[in-house]
Amino acid sequence: MKLFDAHNHLQDPRLDHARPELEKAISDLGIVEMVVNGTSEQDWAKVATLAQRLTWVRPSYGLHPWNVKQKGIEWLERLRDYLQRDPRSLMGEIGLDQWIELPDFSAQRLCFQQQLALAIELDRPVTIHCLRAWGYLEEELRRQKPLPRGFLLHSYSGPIEMIPSWLKLGAYFSLSPYFAHARKAQQLSVFASLPLDRLLVETDAPDMWPPDEWNRYPLIDEGKPINHPGNLAVSYDLLARVRGMAVEDLAEHIEINFRRLFG
């Protein structure tokens, strides 16, 4: 069975201590491709290096809303350069976030607008992060020209009432193993009714680890739990259960959706 991870952060230094073992596990599990998302100028080079070394890594570059305060003067030019170096590369992780403490939301919105415009210019699909800013996100997406390649709302936890609007705008939705936690039951239930042709799965590793009873690859960094990319199979199993499907049948749809969005 072929597996596709629509969103993770394999470049994260929290994974460095286990990197040889987890890379072997990824190959053994049949993970054909994963989108590795850069989040700041500081990690774009590491994403690029991983993509050059590992054939199953699809690089993605973006300025995450948590990192807008640390951006350099020429950040947008550097982002353009990384995207143009590799025609396979994607835009992300970008977005809007009012959940973090003291967000510079006006700066977030400006950076988001600039990155959407660049994605449209370069014809790249986009991976979007959003927390407590769903109305603003819809406003920004409607303000721009339509994204020609579509976009992913990763680990979607927004209102179910907004689904029709997201679909018209070209959205895909991905589920992470974190949705197996009991407190995420309401958000998980949304995935039961989403169109099958807009579904993807992800790990968001090293974040979004599953509960212990689902965790097939427990991993610790400095005494704290982190998510192993091998838990992608958990996302498949969880989504298959929610959809009432055999996981093998679901995997066929996920592959089609992944290639439709990311090329």
How do residues 129-140 score in pLDDT, each as one tens digit?
999 999 999 999
pLDDT band at 242 (very low <50, low <70, confident <90, very high): very high
Q: Tens digits of per-residue pLDDT, 72-129?
A: 999 999 999 999 999 999 999 999 999 988 889 999 999 999 999 999 999 999 999 9
pLDDT at 101: 86
Number of neighbours of residue 28 by Cβ within 10 angstroms: 9
Largest CA distance in the chain: 50
pLDDT at 166: 98
pLDDT at 48: 98
Number of neighbours of residue 81 by Cβ within 10 angstroms: 12
Superfamily per CATH, domain 3-262: Metal-dependent hydrolases (3.20.20.140)
Which H or E run includes 77?
helix 75-85
pLDDT at 220: 95
Average pLDDT over residues 138-154: 95
| Strand boundaries in the chain, DSSP class E | 3-8, 31-37, 57-61, 90-97, 126-131, 151-153, 171-175, 199-201, 219-221, 224-226
DSSP type of residue 150? -
pLDDT band at 27 (very low <50, low <70, confident <90, very high): confident
User: Has this prediction a pTM greater than 0.95?
Assistant: yes
Distances (CA, A) of 59 to 85, 124, 139, 180, 212: 11, 12, 28, 27, 30
| Mean pLDDT of the residues in the chain | 96
List the structure tokens of 86.
């590799």
CA 131, CA 103: separation in Å to the nearest integer? 11
Question: Where are the domains positioned within the chain?
Answer: 3-262
Percent above pLDDT 70 for the chain: 100
Average pLDDT over residues 235-257: 98
Report helix, strand or coil for 45.
helix
Distances (CA, A) of 111 to 54, 55, 106, 149, 184: 30, 30, 9, 20, 30
Average pLDDT over residues 220-237: 96
Least confident of 98-102, 237-241, 257-261: 98-102
User: Does position 25 have pLDDT exceeding 90, yes or no?
Assistant: no
